[in-house]
Structure 1
Amino acid sequence: MREAAYGLALALQFLTRLPLPLACPWNATTRRWAVRSYPLVGMLLGGLLAIAGALLDGILPAPLLALTLLTLWVALSGGLHLDGLMDVADALGSNAPLEKRWAIMKDPHVGSFGILALAFLLLWKAALLFALLEAGASLALLVVIPSLGRLAAVALLVLSPAAHSEGMAASWKRDLVPLDLALAALPLLPLAVLVSGGWWLCLALVPFLALYAWGMVHAFKGINGDIVGTVIEGGELWLLLVAWSWWSFVTA
């Protein structure tokens, strides 16, 4: 169980900006437990968002509450995945040959496609959060969505080839097997059952993940850390849209 605890701590240190001053060993066992803990980290982040939403509901008007929740959402992760999103957007937007796309992705400077991708992602997230709040949706959805977004990252790491033998994605996916994906998904089963629309969100993630994985492997011949981070951001946006559709049209 010590390895599992170390793995959870590693996942928290990597995926969030929550203070956790603990030195954790980095080996095959703790690495696998860290990946298995990705959805748990999403559950924690979503829980903090839901608590903030409950505390501020009725105090802030819906537009300001949506913006506050989005700000907290970004702050808790330190914008880690947004950086990957911008890198991927710049590479894809360049329409350059493969090697040039990789060079663009590694460039520390942000281009126009990255800025546009960031702006539209945040605007859509804010708008969908506002729409969910206006529709009176359950704040429990904010627990499910970040959890599933990080489960998508686990699925990508387990099932997709790494583009290079070295790098962040290659180091995280080393030694991973399909069992790790199953164990990562296990804690989400209660959420899928207890939260209205939870099963629908789980099912809706599958076509998005399949299309995204196919597109990234086709464009880059494999995945890297930026691509894994982007699936979290894109997955969360897609799930917000699905949640709003469910709550507005199915439960209405």
Structure 2
Amino acid sequence: MKLHAQALVAAIQFLTRIPVPLTVPFEPQVLSRSAAYFSIAGGIIGGIVMLGFAAVQSWLPAGPGAVLLLALWLALSGALHMDGWMDTADGVLSHRSRERMLEIMKDSRVGAMGVIAAVLLLLFKFTVLYELLSRTESAYVLPLLVIIPAWSRWWMAAAIVLWPSARQGEGIGALFQAVSLRHVWSGFVLTFLLACGTGLAFGLPISTSAFTAAGAAAVTMATGTIMSFWLVRKLGGLTGDTYGALNEGIEAILLFALLLLTTH
């Protein structure tokens, strides 16, 4: 139980900027277990975003509300994954050799492609949030806002196991080399139960909650698989930056899927 508690705290501390006044060892044994709880950290982010959505929808126009909501979403992770999205864009869109792409991604400076990719992603998320705030009263919105960050972070754990590392033994990824399929499947079950439980808590029938959970899982796996294959073809494997990019891409697609769901 102690190891699992440490793993949960490690997941929250690693993936969010939410203060948890506990000290846990950031060692491979703890971090490998923490992968099973990535989605819980994401669910906490989603829960705060959901509360923010409800607040700005009640008190602010959709435009300023969407900006503040997006800023909150970024702040909860310290823009950690957005940084990975930008670094990945700088590398894979440079059309250089594989080795040079990896070098570019390690550079702390942000290039033109990274800035462009970030602006486009933020504009996309802003417009989706704007539409959700201004047009819909769907019962799906609040529960799905909770689970979108949970599914995207679960996929980060899955990607660690399912695809090779582009930098064996280097970087943050080296700390998670002990992550196994057991952790991934445990995380999947936790995420699915979280999704179903959230739907039930917001008054959705159990069949609807299970259906939306399965749909979100399917979109996550389809988007994550396509992105992961493309990145591995470019880089020969995945890196810490690409895990962040996967999270950002999956969040954006899940948000868009939510918009489509609520407008039909």
Same fold? TM cut 0.5: yes
CA distance in 2, matches of 1:18, 1:242: 27
CA distance in 1, matches of 2:176, 2:240: 10
Q: Check the 8 A contact 2:92/2:235 in 1, yes or no.
A: no
Range with greater deviation from structure 2 (181-190 or 42-51): 181-190
SS at match of 1:123: helix
- 5 Å-filtered alignment, 1:73-88, equals 73-88=73-88
Q: Check the 8 A contact 2:128/2:256 in 1, yes or no.
A: yes
Q: Is 2:161 the counterpart of 1:158?
A: yes
- Residue 16 of structure 1 corresponds to 16
Aligned length, in residue pairs: 249
Q: Structure 1 segments of 4 or more deviating over 6 A?
A: none
Range with greater deviation from structure 2 (56-65 or 205-214): 56-65
Give the 3 Å change call, closer, same or farther, for CA 46–129 of structure 1 in structure 2.
same
Instruction: Note the residue ranges of structure 2 that are not aligned, 5 or more in a row.
Output: 200-208
Residue 19 of structure 2 aligns to which amino acid in structure 1? P
- Residue 186 of structure 1 corresponds to 189
Instruction: Note the residue ranges of structure 1 that are not aligned, 5 or more in a row.
Output: none
CA distance in 1, matches of 2:231, 2:172: 13
- Residue 119 of structure 1 corresponds to 119
TM-score, structure 2 normalization: 0.89
Superposition deviation, residue 209 in structure 1: 1.2
CA distance in 1, matches of 2:160, 2:171: 11
Give the 3 Å change call, closer, same or farther, for CA 240–163 of structure 1 in structure 2.
same
Range with greater deviation from structure 2 (28-37 or 88-97): 28-37
Superposition deviation, residue 243 in structure 1: 1.1
- Residue 136 of structure 1 corresponds to 137
CA distance in 2, matches of 1:26, 1:91: 28
Given the alignment, which residue of 220, 224, 236 partners 2:235? 220
Q: Check the 8 A contact 1:169/1:223 in 2, yes or no.
A: no
Given the alignment, which residue of 228, 232, 250 partners 2:247? 232
Residue 69 of structure 1 aligns to which amino acid in structure 2? L
SS at match of 2:142: coil
Range with greater deviation from structure 2 (24-33 or 141-150): 24-33
Superposition deviation, residue 191 in structure 1: 4.2
